[in-house]
Amino acid sequence: MKKTYLLIIMAAIFAICSCTKVEYIDVTGRVLTEKEVPVTAGSFMLPVTVNGESKLVWKVRPIDSWLHVDDAEWKQNAYNVTVRYDSNESSMNTRNFARVGHLVVDTYDGFVADTIVVKQRGITPSMKLSNVTAEASMTTCLIPFNTNLTDACRPGITISADQDWVEGITYLGNGKELEVALAANGGDERSAHIKVLFVDAWGDEHKAECVLTQNAYVPEPGTPDTPTTEEPEPGTPDTPETPDQPNEPSQEPQNVK
């Protein structure tokens, strides 16, 4: 079977690369190109042509609901496809971060199905952790976590600590706190670094870090560091014995026969 090629004219897609050399790309099972668009709604032209079979029939179809193709009919040979994209602006009730969508170029015979990636901007993720000090006896504490991440962002969040006495960390999902489980401290003051990493849809990393300090163990006044149990001295009875007393004569009168 003869291999078919599609041509994506890069210069018409990227305004900043208006002098980019036109390239023929083997699109069988591959990402053809990436297009970055602003947060506001708009459109762009997607010029597509064919190299190989002059009668190849194809079309472009969006995979994501925020992408639209004005003319979704089957095409033949070269054609300029208009792609529209919805706004990704945030409002009082929504926080829209950067997102990634996909357009698939299909051939009528199913021989080629390849992807064009569309990256749309959004608000920037923000994260801030505050340093915290815990008492030696504490086994849980809360760390203030100021972030604009939503519950939908949880799959992209990774939380870690560099000390094993930090036994677990939970993001409470309220955008305000991390709950930390820690072992009680029976020794000197110690500290651990808590890190939060979020990877957005574009693959960009956003980080925050703080120090969790746990105070040293201090015995209460009058309490020995290590309780001891006193043992009785050898040969010393636990309870002193009282020596037997001699029988006293009875004071009651005796009947003498």
Q: Is it the case that residue 21 has pLDDT exceeding 50?
A: no
Per-residue pLDDT for 166 more than 90? yes
Are the C-beta atoms of 140 and 179 separated by less than 8 Å? yes
Residue % of the chain over a pLDDT of 70: 72
Confidence of residue 146 (pLDDT cuts 50, 70, 90): very high
- Residues 91-136 pLDDT 10s: 888 889 999 998 988 888 877 788 899 999 999 999 999 999 999 9
**Residue 117 burial (10 A CB sphere; 0-12, 13-18, 19+):** middle
- Please say whether the structural domain 127-214 has been given the CATH code 1.10.260: no
Cβ count near 215 (within 10 Å): 15
Residues making up the chain, counted from first to last? 257
CA neighbor of 162 nearest in space, from 130, 132, 191, 182 = 191
User: H/E/C letters for each residue in the chain?
Assistant: CCCCEEEECHHHHCHHHCCCCCCCECCCCCEEEEEEECCCCEEEEEEEEEECCCCCEEEEEECCCCEEECCCCCEECCEEEEEEECCCCCCCCCCCECEEEEEEEEECCCCCEEEEEEEECCECCCEEECCEEECCCCCEEEEEEEECCCHHHHHHEEEEECCCCEEEEEECCCCCEEEEEECCCCCCCEEEEEEEEEECCCCCEEEEEEEEEECCCCCCCCCCCCCCCCCCCCCCCCCCCCCCCCCCCCCCCCCCC
pLDDT the model gives residue 220: 79
pTM of the model: 0.68
Q: How far apart are CA 197 and CA 183, in angstroms?
A: 24
Which residues of the chain are in CATH 2.60.40.10 domains? 5-120
Q: How far is CA 27 from CA 31, 53, 116, 257, in A?
A: 7, 14, 10, 139
Q: What is the pLDDT of residue 198?
A: 93
Q: In this structure, are strands 140-147 and 67-69 parallel, antiparallel, or unpaired?
A: unpaired
Per-residue pLDDT, averaged over 216-238, amounts to: 65
- Is it true that domain 5-120 has CATH number 2.60.40.10? yes
